[in-house]
């Protein structure tokens, strides 16, 4: 039997996250079955969750209207790992400085949407990330920056601004770790996260 993963699939890079979770699991000798989450009812069965980028206003509205928001909160309350990327980070934050975003408050951070300016709409940067030996090739697309980091820990910064944070079982990145073949961020969030609980190998055997 394998771990059960969920990719929130109301919008965004669902297939890419699925593939990245599968690669990270293989690298950690774990088996995983990934489900796409579009409705309430599936999240409670998931051992780990990814919340992709997209448009944070749309994602937060759909998560609440579909009843998935409360399930994601319960998932995190239970100490299970969540990786929230780009718009996913905005939705997971406690303050997105935008009335159209209904934040989940899972990361004690303030974010600024589209913070890196027009000329830098999209760029790739070699990022030093706490917990990784080599720089991570981070792809930023209309990315948010993180302004106030309350109880969260900064894992990486770019241009002097935090772009990856961790708080308990939740990891948030302003960039898109699903868009490169390098699955180390998924590995860090799900399989090397000391603050998160995953069923032990023998429990799933």
Point out which residues bind ligand GLN (CB under 6 A). Answer: 53-56, 86-87, 90, 113-114, 141-142
- Work out the widest C-alpha separation in the chain, in whole angstroms: 50
Encoded tokens for 186: 């998924």
CB 190, min distance to ligand GLN, A: 20
Q: Is residue 119 within 8 Å of 165, Cβ to Cβ?
A: no
Give, to the nearest 10 degrees, the angle between helix 56-65 and helix 68-77: 90
Encoded tokens for 181: 């073949």
Residue 157, phi then psi, degrees to nearest 5: -130, 155
CB 11, min distance to ligand GLN, A: 9
Which strand (E) or helix (H) includes residue 49?
strand 48-51
What string of DSSP letters covers 173-185?
Answer: ESS-GGGSS--HH
- Check residue 200 and report its DSSP letter: -
- CB of 47 or CB of 178, closer to ligand GLN: 178
- CB of 3 or CB of 91, closer to ligand GLN: 91
Residue 85, phi then psi, degrees to nearest 5: -115, 135
Active-site amino acid positions: 86, 176, 178
Q: Is residue 140 within 8 Å of 174, Cβ to Cβ?
A: yes
**Is 90 known as a binding-site position?**
no
CB 197, min distance to ligand GLN, A: 28
**Is 113 known as a binding-site position?**
yes
CB 60, min distance to ligand GLN, A: 9
- CB of 48 or CB of 174, closer to ligand GLN: 174
- CB of 141 or CB of 188, closer to ligand GLN: 141
Q: Which residue minimizes CB distance to ligand GLN?
A: 53
- Distance in angstroms between the alpha carbons of the first and the last residue of the chain: 5
**Is 55 known as a binding-site position?**
yes
**Residues flagged as binding site:** 54-56, 113, 141-142
**Residues flagged as binding site for L-glutamine:** 54-56, 113, 141-142
């Amino acid at each position: 039997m394998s771990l059960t993963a969920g990719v929130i699939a109301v919008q965004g890079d669902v297939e890419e996250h699925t593939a990245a979770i599968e690669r990270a699991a293989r690298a950690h000798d774990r088996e995983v079955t990934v489900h796409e989450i579009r409705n309430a009812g599936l999240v409670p069965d998931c051992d780990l969750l990814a919340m992709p980028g997209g448009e944070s206003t749309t994602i937060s509205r759909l998560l609440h209207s579909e009843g998935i928001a409360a399930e994601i909160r319960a998932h995190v309350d239970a100490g299970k790992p969540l990786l929230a990327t780009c718009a996913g980070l905005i939705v997971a934050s406690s303050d997105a400085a935008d009335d159209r975003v209904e934040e989940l408050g899972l990361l004690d951070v303030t974010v600024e949407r589209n913070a890196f300016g027009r000329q830098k709409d999209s760029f790739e940067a070699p990022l030093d990330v706490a917990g990784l030996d080599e720089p991570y090739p981070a792809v930023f697309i209309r990315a948010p920056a993180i302004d106030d980091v309350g109880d969260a820990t900064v894992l990486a910064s770019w241009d002097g601004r935090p772009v990856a944070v961790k708080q308990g079982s939740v990891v948030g990145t302003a960039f898109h770790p699903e868009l490169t073949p390098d699955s180390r961020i998924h590995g860090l969030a799900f399989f090397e996260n000391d603050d998160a609980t995953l069923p032990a190998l023998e429990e799933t055997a």
